[in-house]
Each structure stands twice: as structure tokens, then as C-alpha cells.
A and B are shown apart, each in its own frame.
Chain A
């Protein structure tokens, strides 16, 4: 890791985050949308670890663990909810799950 400046990590993290946001906005499959959110959270992890390494602290590393736990819990709850949606409707397309609207 020596020689690679902090800014490179931050740019990579920002790019990954932007990719996640783009995936969230433009993909229509619920599972893919969910994976895009995981990508955003992992971009956050990368930036935490990079900052933590730069600052020679462990705070950022610890935050990373908590973000991972949250991501895992969200995936567990999220997939369960997606499963019930699929059971009731036989579709995973976000646009077709639209019985609630003005």
C-alpha cells in the first residue's frame, strides 16, 4: 500500500459510490437494485479504511465492521421482504410492483 496516495483511494471510493447510485437509479430488477446499495456501502467502507490508514487510527476500521454488520442485516431483512413480494406477485421488476399510487 506504500506509495499510493490517499486521494486515489478517495477517488476510487467516490467512483464506486457513484456507480452504486447509478445502478440504483437505472436498474429495474429488485435484486440488482439491492446489490447496487451494497456497492454504495462498500464504497463507504473503502473510504473509511483509507482515512483510517492515513490517520493511523482504528476508529475508521471499527466503523467499517459496523457498516458490514448493517449491510448483512439489511440483506437478511431485504431478501425476506423481496421473497414475500415475489410469492404474492411472481415478479421482481420494480415497475410492476405498483399497486400503491396516487
Chain B
């Protein structure tokens, strides 16, 4: 009769360990970095002392959860009276977040040194943001999800504005913060209506209560619409995408890379939890709405990317269009579609991170390296980087045998299976547009002469991460079996 054990059981602890590790090491960096590493010239030790052990222990905890699920044969572990659920879905996304954090932490050292803003807080915020993502993928309660989202978003606001003396970084942080907080307001309003209609904050109870109501009931529709606005902001779907190009361009490039993959993956996990859970019954009302949003997202993302001269901004619009493709998987909604979203997220992490890492390497002491012209003649200067960039761009464009093709293949397959022919045709047409602007970058790399001869800013971490991303981008495309099985496991939800 220990009163505390009633509220914090062994299972609760087991489920929470990854988040505890991330929060513990994140806070440890914030509190102890100047104490353990007083000399600024030794900041490179931050990585092996704090970040790698933190991520390692998180990975170990996730691996134990995975092993437990496999051994027990049950589909899920629920904790805190159903507020958290560990299942194939949450584990899949948590692995994705872990990989993204690891790669970004590995490549940041040199870049932040060049920017003159290499502080321990940077790594602390990355770990804390990842703990927020953990709650987004694992949470099955409105309160948990809301807190997880805000924890992640607050860390990102600070990270985007991490270059304190840089006007562009400030501005990007301000725009991201104002629009992000605005969208959180909508989301919270939608949540309050969901709670009011059903009398519960648990996704499962909300789903069973809402299933008894008509999809076009005005209250249900209002709750769905406000929640959707909040969620679509986070995945930067048109017409709620205005923040993305500015935040991506102004943020430090390593943060842009992290923001574009991890935040997007977490927001998609959140989106799938809400739309395939509580709102599954009102599909009739949200399917046409999201179809329009998906078409607009692909249109604006692809067409606006054509005229961009800043590589970060171009990749920002390309990531908007990728969000549109991922939305198509949700609209199809059958197992192929959801598996397609999972595959797409996994593939997108490697190819998009890889493309941004090349931009990270282009930043030199006296050179921003963000314009398309800065890629000029890369094949003559650093052939290895040019080839890797080519692999990532081919994959982003969705050309076989790279991984990007696989992601798009499952999305379009699911659309055809469920009879959404129009969406499939529109999506395929925009792939052709995308090839055009990705190949503008390729042309610049391969056909023009080098204007700058300064070597790229590389580091061991960057080279390892780039090689790993490129290897996986090709591996998933050439031998997809194990990765498809991984994505298949995310269906148990």
C-alpha cells in the first residue's frame, strides 16, 4: 500500500526512460557545461561527454522497449492510465528522431565554430527538443501531446535564433515563434472542444465517443477544423506555410537541417495519431479539406521553389512540397498509405539531412555559401561532395534507384488502391516540376566553372554523417526489404 507506486508504476517508468534520459542529459549540459569544460577551446568535448552518452542511453532504452514488445507478443505497452502508449508506431518514429539528433549533433561542431556561437546550450536544446518529440510520438492523451509539442517548439524557437547577433537569425526566430504560438492557440482551442464534446482527454475515449456523432455535426466540424489548422501549421502545409521559408533561411544551417526533418517527422507522427485516432470517424468531412490542402501544398511548394536563388530557401519550398506528398498517404488512409508515410519519413530524413549537410560544408569563415552560385563548379573543387549532393538531389526528386522513389511509390500506390486517381495524377505531374529545380542545382555543380577556390569546411563528424546518409539513401532504394519491414512495424498502433 505504497501510495506513490499507484501513480508511478514500474511500467510507467519503463515507458518513460527514453524521455528521462533525454531530459536528464539535456539539463545536465545546460547546468554543467561551463563547470566541466571551462575552457571555450575545448568545447569539442561536449559531444563525447554529454551528447553521445545521452543519445546512447536513449537508444538503449528504446531498444529494451522494442525487445520487450517483441518478447511479450503484445501490440502495445500503456502507461500513466493510457496517457502514453509504446507501440510499433511510437518506436519507429523515436528511432527516426534519434538518428536525426545524432547526425545533427555530429555535424554542428565545425559550423558553430565558424559562426562563433559554439555553446553547450545548443546540444542541450537538441536533446530537450527530442524529449518533446518522444511525447509527440508516444503520447495518447491531449495534455501529453500538447506539452510535447510545446516542449519541442520552444526548443526550436531558441535554436532558430541561436545566432544572437545575426539579424536574419533573429528575424527567423521571431517569425517562427509568432506563427508557431498562433497555431498552438488554434490547436488548444480544438482540443478544448474535443474535450468538451467527449468529457475525456484520452484519444481512445474521444475516438469511441466521436464515432457516435455525425461527421458534419457543426461542433465536431469546428473541433476538427481548428485542430487541423494547428497541425497543418506544424507540418508547413499551404496555406499555413509562410513561416517555413523564412525560418529555414534565417536559422543556422544545422538547425535548418534538424528542423526540416525531425520537427516534420514529429509533427507527422502527431498528425497521424490525431487523424487516424479521434478524428478517424469524421473522415467524410476532413478528407476533401485535406485533399485541397495537399494539392495546394504541392503546387505552391514546387512552383515557388523554381525561382529561388538561395539553396536553403529552395530546399525549404521543396520540403513544403514533400509535406504535401506525405499528406496524400494520410488521405488514402489504407495500410499501404500509412506505411507509405512511414517509409517517406524515413527516406526523407536521410536525403534531406544529406542535402543540408552539403550546404553546411559550404559555409566558410568569410563566405555564406547559401546561393545556388556557391555550388558552381563543385565537381572540380570537391568531386566527392558533388557526387553525394547528386545522390541526395536525385532521391529528393524521386528518381530510382534512390530511396526517394520508394517513398513516392508507396504513396501513389495507396492513392490508386483507394481510387484517388486525380490526386495521384496531380502528384505525379509535380514530380516533373521538382526534377527541374533540383537539376538547376546539379547543373550549377557540374557545368559551371568554380568562382571560389577555397576548400569546403569539413570535419570528421560531417564526413561520417554524409557518407552514412548517402549510403542509406542508396541502400533503401536498392535493397528496401529490411526498411520496409521496419515501416510495416509502425502499422501496429
Q: Taking beta carbons and an 8 Å cutoff, which residues of A are in contact with B? A: 10, 13, 17, 20, 24, 30, 33-34, 37, 40-41, 43-44, 47-48, 50-51, 54-55, 57, 59-60, 62-63, 66-67, 70, 73-74, 77-78, 81-82, 84-85, 88-89, 94, 97-102
The B293-313 residues at the A interface (CB cut-off 8 A) are 304, 307-308, 313
Given A97-B174, A99-B171, 16 additional A-B pairs, CB 8 A: A30-B178, A40-B186, A44-B189, A60-B192, A63-B192, A63-B201, A70-B184, A74-B154, A77-B154, A77-B158, A78-B181, A81-B157, A82-B174, A88-B165, A100-B175, A102-B307
Q: Flag if B185 contacts A84 (CB, 8 Å).
A: no
Q: Flag if B191 contacts A20 (CB, 8 Å).
A: no
Q: Which residues of B contact A101 (CB under 8 A)?
A: 246
Kindly state the separation between the CA atoms of A94 and B174 in the bound complex, as whole angstroms. Answer: 9
Q: Which residue of A lies closest to B308 (CB)?
A: A102
Partner of A63, one of B142, B172, B185: B142
Q: Which residue of B lies closest to A54 (CB)?
A: B196
Q: Taking beta carbons and an 8 Å cutoff, which residues of B are in contact with A? A: 142-143, 146-147, 150, 154, 157-158, 161, 164-165, 167-168, 170-175, 177-178, 181-182, 184-186, 188-189, 191-193, 195-196, 199-201, 245-246, 249-250, 304, 307-308, 313
Q: Nearest Cβ in chain A — how far from B144, in angstroms?
A: 9
Q: Nearest Cβ in chain B — how far from A63, in angstroms?
A: 6
Kindly state the separation between the CA atoms of A10 and B150 in the bound complex, as whole angstroms. Answer: 25
Q: Which residue of A lies closest to B157 (CB)?
A: A77
Q: Flag if A48 contacts B192 (CB, 8 Å).
A: yes
Q: Nearest Cβ in chain A — how far from B150, in angstroms?
A: 5
Q: Nearest Cβ in chain B — how far from A81, in angstroms?
A: 5
Q: Which of B146, B184, B186 has the most CB of A within 10 A?
A: B184
Q: Flag if B185 contacts A20 (CB, 8 Å).
A: yes
Partner of A48, one of B150, B174, B195, B199: B195
Q: Which of A43, A51, A57 has the most CB of B within 10 A?
A: A51
Q: List 24 A-B contacts (CB under 8 A).
A: A24-B182, A37-B182, A44-B191, A47-B192, A47-B196, A50-B196, A59-B195, A59-B199, A59-B200, A62-B143, A63-B201, A70-B184, A73-B150, A74-B150, A78-B157, A81-B161, A84-B161, A84-B173, A85-B174, A97-B174, A97-B175, A99-B171, A100-B171, A100-B250
Q: Which residue of B lies closest to A49 (CB)?
A: B192
Given A59-B200, A63-B143, A43:B168 Cβ within 8 A: no
Q: Which residue of B lies closest to A47 (CB)?
A: B192
Q: Which residues of A contact B177 (CB under 8 A)?
A: 74, 77-78, 81
Kindly state the separation between the CA atoms of A40 and B196 in the bound complex, as whole angstroms. Answer: 17
Q: Which residues of A contact B158 (CB under 8 A)?
A: 77, 81
Kindly state the separation between the CA atoms of A55 and B193 in the bound complex, as whole angstroms. Answer: 13
Q: Which residue of A lies closest to B176 (CB)?
A: A81
Q: Flag if B191 contacts A63 (CB, 8 Å).
A: yes
Q: Which residues of B contact A34 (CB under 8 A)?
A: 178, 181
Partner of B178, one of A33, A67, A73, A98: A33
